[in-house]
Amino acid sequence: MPNYNWTSREDVVLLYYRSRDVPMDAVGALVSHKCRTTRSVGQCRDRLSYIKNIESNAGRPKLYSNVWNLNAVDRWLDGPRIPEGTANLLRFDSAARSILRRVRKADPSNETV
């Protein structure tokens, strides 16, 4: 049976790239690539909703309300639950560019980055 537990590293990649308006198809591929896991787009959407709800219900500033609150997202990324050494996960490297190109080629309407 597959492991459905999310790691904090996966949460970091998911929240960072999605908050920067990277298309969800590319975010799912980035989570899988950078964290060496396999996550579907649906799993990524569900997890993102879960994170947004948890943060909102905890009385913290909303991460998303029609637009991303990048200050709140960045505070979340700098928070104590995030492990050290996550900077490499957020680096927009050649693999990330390749994933974005592939997603855009498959669906040219995915122009948002």
111 occurs within a structural domain: no
Residue 112 included in any domain: no
What is the tally of structural domains in the chain? 1
Instruction: Give a yes or no: residue 113 inside a domain.
Output: no
* Contact predicate 77/60, CB 8 Å: no
74-97 pLDDT, tens digit each: 888 887 767 777 777 888 889 999
What pLDDT is recorded for position 42? Answer: 93
Q: How far is CA 4 from CA 44, 74, 78, 89, 112, in A?
A: 11, 25, 24, 20, 28
Domain that holds residue 70: 8-106
pLDDT tens by residue, 4-57? 799 989 999 999 999 999 999 999 999 999 999 999 999 999 999 999 988 888
Identify the pLDDT of residue 90.
Answer: 86
Q: With respect to residue 65, please indicate whether it lies within any of the assigned structural domains.
A: yes
**Contact at 8 Å (CB) between 57 and 31?**
no
Q: What is the pTM of this model?
A: 0.83
How far apart, in whole angstroms, are the C-alpha atoms of residue 69 and residue 47? Answer: 18
**Are 37 and 19 contacting, i.e. CB atoms less than 8 angstroms apart?**
no
Kindly indicate the confidence band of residue 108, based on its pLDDT and cuts at 50, 70 and 90.
low
- Grouping H, G, I as helix, E, B as strand and the rest as coil, residue 1 is coil
CA of residue 73 relative to chain centroid, distance: 11
Classify residue 3: in a domain, yes or no.
no
In a domain? residue 59 = yes
Position 1 in a domain = no
User: Is 52 buried (19+), middle (13-18) or exposed (0-12) by CB count in 10 A?
Assistant: middle
